[in-house]
Amino acid sequence: MEQNIPKYREPNRRRIAKTIAIAGVLVVLGLILVFSSFYELNEDEFAVITTFGKASVVSEPGLKMKIPFIQQKHYVSKATKGFAIGYDLNTGNSIDSESVMITVDYNFVNVDFYVEYRVTDPVKYLYNSQDPVGILKMLCQSYIRDTIGLYRVDDVITTGKSEIQASIKDKILNRLDKEDLGITLVSITIQDAEPPTMAVQEAFKAVETAKQDAETATNNANKYANEVLPAAKADADEILQSAEAYKTARINAANGQASRFAQLYQEYAKYPEITKQRLFYESISAIFPDMKVIIMGKDGNALQAVLPIDSFVAPGTANGAEGGN
């Protein structure tokens, strides 16, 4: 037998269902409000919070709160990021439109760069330009070509890389200060530099090998010089010392002869005739050391042996006098 349900209960059920629906919506809205009011900030991130168009930066990591629907947040990474110029970073394939350049000596060269940057001001990074990284890449390409064009091709490929990198970095940093993009250049590095054709590459390899051989030869020559020069300097010092000793001996001998001559002159001034005779006897004695001169008397008898005689100027320098008949 069917039971008749009173019609007054149907509106009550509708009210209950409506109430439950409203409560569910309120719960959902509450959860949305709760979840949109809190956010977590990592150590390697900035959070830019905008309130009615005014931006502020949150940099301390942790659980943060904001006003839902009124405040908007944007995450900006603090990490250093990078991009490639001249090649595809994923495949490694060369991009000729970016890498092929001309040098000051009118040669073509294929140069690849890797650029690293980081955000310094997240508000300027988000709002001062539409694409700050794209602007940085264009600046890099411009200053790279400008700088490469000031160097010879062998400098770009071999010894001038560090100087080129430093010059490009200085130019870009100065330009970024003027552009005020909220990012800074960390580094720009030449990854690879080579001539665009294999024939030219082989020629440059040969030149580089010749330079290395020349450097090796120079090092060997310096090593040999370091081994030989000390001995040569020692020999030169010995020769100089011998020459100085010989000079001193000659000077002393000359001074002695000059002194002897002065003494002879003094004796000659006092006794000219006697001195001349004595000098004559000494000379004869030196020339004929074994000859004897004997003074004879008028009657033919030997009176005195006068040679050899002692030197009256420098005793002991001539043979001693000998007596005899």
According to CATH, the topology of domain 81-196 is Tetrahydropterin Synthase; Chain A (3.30.479)
Give the mean pLDDT of 15-39: 69
E strand map for the chain:
38-41, 45-51, 54-58, 62-65, 71-77, 81-85, 100-102, 108-119, 183-194, 294-296, 302-305
Euclidean distance between the first and the last CA atom of the chain, given in angstroms as a whole number: 200
Q: What pLDDT, on the 0 to 100 scale, is given for residue 228?
A: 84
Cβ contacts of 149 within 8 Å, gap of 6 or more:
101, 102, 103, 104
Q: Please give the Cα distance from 272 to 290 (Å, whole number).
A: 27
The pTM for the full model equals 0.53
- Answer for the pair 101, 144: CB distance below 8 angstroms, yes or no: yes
pLDDT in tens, 57-75: 887 777 777 777 777 888 8
Nearest to 22 by CA among 34, 30, 11, 10: 30
pLDDT in tens, 282-309: 777 777 776 666 666 666 665 555 555 5
